[in-house]
Amino acid sequence: MGRRFVIAMVMLWVPHVLGAFDQPNVLFIAADDMNCDLSAFGNSQVVTPNLERLCQLGVRFDRAYCQQPLCGPSRASIMTGLRPDTLDMHTLKHELRQKNPDVETLGQLFRNNGYFVARAGKIYHYGNPSQIGTDGNDDPETWDQRYNPVGIDRSQQENITRYGAGRQKDKNLGISMAWWDPESRDEEHTDGLVASKIIELIKEKKDRPFFLAAGFYNPHCPYVAPKKYFDQYPIDEISMPDLEEAKRDLADVPPMAIQRDQKNWPYYFKDVTVDQARKCKQAYYACNSFVDAQVGRLLDALKENGLMENTIIVFWSDHGYFLGEKGLWYKRKAFERSARMPLIISAPGMAQGKTSFKPVELLDLYPTLADLCGLKPPTDLEGHSLRPLLVDPNDAQWAKPAVTQVWHNKKSWGYSLRNERYRYTEWLEGKAGRELYDHQNDPEEITNLADQPQHAGIVERLSLQVGDYVRLKPYKRQ
């Protein structure tokens, strides 16, 4: 990949590479199901001043992608630096240690090197909201301390409005078109309590190196936030895609690409109206702004305790999210909107106020943090340190694509490769269809070019590339 890239990778093994910033702290901030509908990522409607502030402190990665658009495998991949196929994890089951007993997680690496390591909220998968207040699918070996606060979004679920046929009050809210806008303080909600706990730990541990993870549950459904955040988004200013146009967008898409969404299209649930979907979109935006406010509290705490100059700050979401585009809702799709999510990194001595348009992956976070903190990571990590892009956000030597996979069952799975121009997707290694989108001319992925003869050479080249990443266990494939 070029001499400069190789040199940057060698630096993984050199301790204390930050020079004067010896043993920097890490503040690791996660959102749940957050897409890039943020002012910090170019959507001026969605108010996120604190994420904008964080972008000015570091590098915004405009083309960052998850390994699988589903919470469980995505989060396990982030915390191990390994792809879902390597971990053999593709569902929401609690099986990280069962299948990978000797894996050294990101938190373990820091614990083993003298850091205080703790989390509040959701970092590994939790049933949201059902497992709020528990350890969920957490890995105890990752942390010194774990905190599981519970707010009114979990304790007062009877107040949540639900849409869609059969959505009675006793039904699971983990996948729902549901919202609530109480007159409440931030600290009455789980995410407000998560932020408060991390602020407390920042104050307590400021005199020793720490790795603190703030795992926010929003904007995952049900979409619950204080009313003041809803008020930022008048309902008549929330637009929804035209459904006739949305249906046309899907005409050239392989059926497997949207098989979970076809039965009750649009919006996943039967009998959800456009106006109800609009209300949920408003609620989702409100939750994004609520999370942004908690990020602001964390940044203020670092500043107040004199830690901004010696703390690496990472903000990420586990995958993207559909809000009616193509008539779709939720995640678990190989389209750009489902695979792409916000990623911002601020690190001492690195670029500030810059944007990288190079494709990167969430599993790159593990080697990046090891590199920046001068720690020796496991030798089998499958990502690469983002240090070259933190120095020069558009380093010409960075040529690694981003690969996202979808797995529903052994008869339904696919892999999607994103480079700087194209997204290419194969379903069942091409036997169930292919997709090719030219993001230079078609950023919304309206026209599938895969079967057009003039693009056959591109399809052949990208098919060979994506084939290198297909490592699904035999029992999980047709």
Q: What is the pLDDT of residue 22?
A: 74
Is residue 125 annotated as part of the catalytic site, yes or no?
A: yes
Domain ranges of the chain: 3-404
pLDDT one-digit tens code per residue, 158-185 = 999 999 976 655 578 999 999 999 999 9
Mean pLDDT along residues 58-75: 98
pLDDT at 167: 65
| Residue-wise pLDDT tens digits, 91-142 | 999 999 999 999 999 999 999 999 999 999 999 999 999 999 999 999 999 9
Mean pLDDT of 222-233: 98
Q: Tell me: the pLDDT tens digits for 24-55?
A: 999 999 999 999 999 999 999 999 999 999 99
HEC-encoded secondary structure of the chain: CCHHHHHHHHHHHCCCCCCCCCCCEEEEEEEECCCCCCHHHCCCCCCCHHHHHHHHHCEEECCEECCCCCHHHHHHHHHHCCCHHHHCCCCCCCCHHHHCCCCCCHHHHHHCCCCEEEEEECCCCCCCCCCCCCCCCCCHHHCCEEECCCCHHHHCHHHCEEECCCCCCCCCCCCCEEEECCCCCHHHCHHHHHHHHHHHHHHHCCCCCEEEEEEEEEECCCEECCHHHHCCCCHHHCCCCCHHHHHHHCCCCCHHHHCCCCCCCCCCCCCCCHHHHHHHHHHHHHHHHHHHHHHHHHHHHHHHCCCHHHEEEEEEECCCCEECHHHCEECCCCCHHHHECCEEEECCCCCCCEEECCCEEHHHHHHHHHHHCCCCCCCCCCCCCCHHHHHCCCCCCCCCCEEEEEEEECCEEEEEEECCCEEEEEEHHHCCCEEEEECCCCCCCCCCCCCCHHHHHHHHHHHHHHHCCCCCCHHHCC
pLDDT 10s digits, 180-212: 999 999 999 999 999 999 999 999 999 999 999
pLDDT, tens digit, 9 for 90 and up, residues 240-289: 999 999 999 999 999 999 999 999 999 999 999 999 999 999 999 999 99
Confidence of residue 478 (pLDDT cuts 50, 70, 90): confident
pLDDT of 1 over the 60 cut:
no
Which pLDDT value is given to residue 168? 58
Q: Quick one: pLDDT at residue 15? A: 38
pLDDT above 70: residue 9: no
pTM of the model: 0.95
Q: What's the mean per-residue pLDDT of the chain? A: 94
Among the options 36, 66, 71, 373, which is catalytic? 71
pLDDT surpasses 90 at 10:
no
Is 50 exceeded by the pLDDT of residue 13?
no
Indicate which residue of 125, 220, 319, 384 is catalytic. Answer: 125
pLDDT of residue 334: 98
* CATH number of the structural domain 3-404: 3.40.720.10
**What's the mean pLDDT in 149-165?**
94
Q: Is the pLDDT assigned to residue 367 strictly greater than 60? A: yes
Active site residue 90: no
